[in-house]
Amino acid sequence: MTAGINEPLKDKLKAQLNLFYLALSFFTRLPVPKKMHYSAALLNKANRYFSLVGLVTGLLLGFTYVSFNSFLPANISILLTMGISLLLTGAFHEDGLADMADGIGGAFTIEKRLTIMKDSRIGTYGAVTLVIALLLKYTLLLELAKQDSNHLLLAIILAECLSRAIAGSLISSMPYVSDTEQSKSKPLAQAQSSSELSLLLLIGVAPLAFYSSEVIFTLLCVLLAFRWLFKQWLMTKIGGFTGDCLGAAQQICELLIYLTLVSYINNDIFAGIAFTGHIFTGVTG
């Protein structure tokens, strides 16, 4: 009797775990069980776990930095951690940022922009955008590391997780416009239910619990303002979103999170993150 009652719950847990594995396999190079079930429909449902994938990569990158920093200077440790990040994801989101920059920057019609985005070659707009993004990320991470390791580690986890939540939430409010027969990002999620969106955002904002209310408010205002502006811009330029646009949104959100945290530190508003017991608490100066 008990086994019969638990069986449906066990099946549901297996189904959710399978969706997580699908999201993990799509966005990272991390190994997943071979018995994982795949279909375009299942991958579409896996969008609820995009931010959870970010939590996993954030924890791995935090551990990577600590490992390197145990015998190397902070600047070298950050550069190596960024390299591991690119290997971990296959530069998936960076590729999206570069492709979006090439497509929207290099054409004047929606059709031409979408065609350029599908081209695997990188152009001037994409190369310049990518170089600036990587340099800015390195500089911001170095500024955070100057405070202490707690600042940097928590910032990495937050940025990896929350940036994917904001980017993934665009699926719920914009049409998918890429040609699914040719898009490099197919079969990325093209629809999102309210429950999927809720779980995505709930996981995404979880690391904010370790920050002060002032920092949380500022970060959410910055990210929501970006989301609204980015959505309007994409609707004007291509009439919706593509997988490349979601990758670009993730990269931009990640940079905005680092920029906001560095801004607080630079203005002596956010003095530090102190470790007390098992929790990080924001300390204002």
pLDDT digits (tens, 9 = 90+) for 87-110: 999 999 999 999 999 999 988 899
Residue 241 has pLDDT above 60, yes or no: yes
Count structural domains, the chain. Answer: 1
pLDDT value, residue 211: 94
In a domain, 40, yes or no: no
The answer as to whether 12 is a domain residue is no
The whole-number pLDDT of residue 150 equals: 86
Can you tell me the distance from the alpha carbon of 189 to that of 179, in angstroms, rounded to the nearest whole number? 13
User: What does the block give as tokens for 176?
Assistant: 């998918």
Domain assignment present for residue 252? The answer is: yes
pLDDT per residue as tens digits for the range 68-81: 999 999 999 999 99
Judge contact between 155 and 258, C-beta under 8 A: yes
- For residue 107, the SS3 value is coil
Q: What is the 8-class DSSP label of residue 274?
A: E
> Is residue 265 in some structural domain?
yes
Joined together, the tokens standing for residue 159 give: 């940025």
Length of the chain: 285
Q: Enumerate the β-bridge partners of residue 275.
A: 280
Q: Find out whether the peptide bond into 187 is cis, omega within 30 degrees of 0.
A: yes
Q: Determine the pLDDT at residue 1.
A: 46
Q: Is residue 152 part of a domain?
A: yes
Q: How many angstroms separate the Cα of 208 from the Cα of each of 196, 202, 212?
A: 20, 10, 8
* Total-model pTM: 0.89
Q: Are 255 and 219 spatial neighbours (Cβ–Cβ below 8 Å)?
A: no
Q: Which two tokens stand for residue 173?
A: 């409010």
Which secondary-structure segment (H or E) carries 27?
helix 2-27
**CA distance linking residue 261 with residue 247, whole number of Å:** 22
Cα(237)–Cα(103) distance, integer angstroms: 10
Angle at 76 between CA 73 and CA 79, to 5 degrees: 145
Residue 13 lies in a domain: no
Question: What is the C-alpha to C-alpha distance for residues 89 and 114, in angstroms, rounded to an integer?
Answer: 23
Half-sphere exposure of 258 (CA within 13 A, CB side): 25
Residue 29 lies in a domain: no
Instruction: Please name every residue paired with 272 in a beta bridge, in sequence order, or none if there are none.
Output: 283
**Domain membership of residue 184 as a residue range:** 49-284
Q: Residue 268: its pLDDT value, please?
A: 58
Q: Is residue 10 part of a domain?
A: no
For residue range 257-280, what is the model confidence (pLDDT) as tens digits? 999 999 988 775 444 444 433 333
